[in-house]
Chain A
Amino acid sequence: MMSPAVILLLLWMIVPLAMTLYFSFLRYNLLMPGTEAFDGIQNYRYFLTDPAFLEALGNTLMLVGGVLCITVIGGTLLALLLDQPMFGQGIVRLLFIAPFFVMPTVSALVWKNMFMNPTNGLFAFVAKVFGGTPIDWLGHYPLPSIILIVAWQWLPFATLILLTALQSLDSEQIEAAEMDGANAFSRFFHIVVPHLARAATVVILIQTIFLLSIFAEILVTTNGGPGNASTNIPFLVYAQSLLQFDVGVGSAGGIVAVVLANIVAIFLMRMVGKNLDL
């Protein structure tokens, strides 16, 4: 009964990947049909030596790393806060998780136009109220701005998962530590943090999968610019293949992206494999 699912996933994985691999060794441009020819590793040489590649690689790592830092640390703090007794906890929780359900194009455009716009944006208004000069966020700080937008989308996810983990912590464990003379500080680092570690691993794994493929946010805010200042690997591959129609180089880029993702994946699956009890 599993075979349809297995076969479909296998096809979904193998066929396109094999085609990408094949194209990556061809000189193949959609604008020049009929000129396809075997081209050895030229596409890879071109893609990897293109200065845009190193920049995109750096941007990808900054984007993933930056968002992970903000969401995991921020998520832990927010989860600890939400775990405290308070009034209206249910409603506060709803407020906190809402950004996760906003579609990426909406959040990117709302932030871009209504907040980060240097003349009409809310940030500009706030800057002027306090006597500062409005900043052209996406023009001057494109990558940090995108990190901010993406972190806003993913912070709820980290918070929610860490909160769920926190609530599954046996309160008797905390009480036992208290009886053993642990103060609040060591209780946090010796009991709470190890307990959260598993959930944090999962958060990092899942978010990395999605963050490595961030696309829409870049497409609608900066289009990768200015220059290549906010281009990540997926966007670079997209631009090569569907904007410059260079299938060969685009495919080589796709394979590079797959290899990079696999390096990260192997590392993460090791970490998480033990945690996913079956």
Chain B
Amino acid sequence: MARQVTLNRRLINTAVAWSLGLLIFFPILWTILTSFKTEAEAISLQPSLFGFDWTLENYQEVNARSNYPRFFANSVIIAVGSTLLGLCIAVPAAWAMAFVPSNRTRGILMWMLSTKMLPPVGVLIPIYLIFREFGLLDSRIGLVFVLMMVNLPIIIWMLFTYFREIPGEILEAARMDGANMKSEILYVLTPMAVPGIASTMLLCVILAWNEAFWTLVLTTTQAAPLTQFIASFSSPEGLFYAKLSAASTMAIAPVLILGWFSQKQLVRGLTFGAVK
């Protein structure tokens, strides 16, 4: 807006927004701070914000005692694996729908969206039994597959909205310029599609990392990712606030950072391209 806003107004906005922002962010901040306290200080009846003896012992203990690296590795494998597998299947599908649309494309896309409406509990028992039958319970490969299926509609939708933005004239220009199919894909399409694929990947890794239904009901120890690890603090271990905080901080830090980088894509991906 070309309108001049008075400094006062701007200062008031700033004050209100920052206060509310810090209020909303406070639980996360508090968790991070608590992770550096000793257990005694963490449950102190006179909690202090910054004035405590900072310590790293919680991190060391969580890492040492509870096999934390395995949970972390499982989270990475499951989140990244399901995303990559999903992309392999979604890229050709979204490609076909964006560049060779038929009059059924819209219907197929809406149907894919509707599969997201299927509540997980509706298929919980068969999936559980099938997994038990094939020895996939508590296996990483099984979870990779399930999370891939859960996120597939979102991946396809998101890629579709990105691919559709590549103008057809560019492809025609490349053909006029003498590019054959191979160089068209190599020099023109891929470079233009990469940003969209990257954002899709980012969002899907975040979603898979935080998925907390299938990861909780289909794993116990071997394949358990961080969601399950944190859930195991539920009681009575959760009363060790400092260790809970340290574990939580490590579990959310990677995604928090990834997420901050992908705000824009988040809006687009989660609204199926309806809001950009």
Contacts and interface: CB of A to CB of B under 8 A. Distances in A.
Q: Which of B89, B119, B230, B266 has the most CB of A within 10 A?
A: B119
Given A164-B267, A265-B114, A275-B274, A216 B227 contact: yes
Q: Which of B116, B152, B212 has the most CB of A within 10 A?
A: B212
A2 B96 contact: yes
B21 interface: yes
Contacts of B93: 1-2, 4-6
Interface string A78-103: 10011011111100111111111111
A258 B119 contact: yes
Nearest to A160: B267
Interface string A103-128: 11111011111110000101001000
B119 A261 contact: yes
A109 B122 contact: no
B239 interface: yes
Nearest to B228: A105
B123 A17 contact: yes
B238 interface: yes
Interface stretch (B124-132, B169-177, B181-189): B124-132
Contacts of A114: 27, 30-31, 34, 241, 244-245
A224 interface: no
Contact of B210 (A104, A206, A278): A104
A16 interface: yes
Contacts of A260: 119
B-side binding surface: helix, strand, loop or mixed?
A: helix
B255 interface: yes
Interface string A257-277: 110111011000100110110
A-side binding surface: helix, strand, loop or mixed?
A: helix
A241 B125 contact: yes
Interface stretch (A65-73, A139-147, A182-190, A245-253): A245-253
A110 B122 contact: no
A78 B31 CA distance: 24
Interface string B257-276: 01110011011001111111
Interface string B101-121: 000011011101111111111
Contacts of A103: 209-210, 212, 226-227, 230, 251-252, 255
Contact size range, B:
35 or more
B126 A86 contact: no
Contacts of A220: 230-231, 234
Contacts of B274: 198-199, 202, 272, 275-276
B28 A120 contact: no
Nearest to B150: A12
A247 B251 CA distance: 34
B195 interface: no
A152 B110 contact: no
A96 B24 contact: yes
Interface of A: 1-2, 4-6, 8-9, 12-13, 15-17, 19-20, 23, 78, 81-82, 84-89, 92-107, 109-115, 120, 122, 125, 152, 155-157, 160-161, 164-165, 168, 171, 198-199, 202-203, 206, 209, 212-213, 215-216, 219-221, 233-234, 237-238, 241-242, 247, 250-251, 253-255, 257-258, 260-262, 264-265, 269, 272-273, 275-276, 278
27 contacts: A4-B93, A5-B89, A5-B93, A5-B112, A5-B156, A8-B149, A20-B122, A23-B125, A78-B20, A92-B18, A95-B21, A97-B259, A98-B28, A98-B260, A102-B256, A103-B226, A104-B227, A106-B230, A112-B238, A120-B45, A160-B267, A199-B274, A215-B213, A234-B121, A247-B129, A254-B123, A265-B114
Sorted from nearest, which 10 A-B pairs have the closest CB atoms? Answer: A216-B212, A16-B123, A101-B259, A95-B21, A19-B126, A5-B93, A16-B126, A1-B92, A258-B122, A1-B96
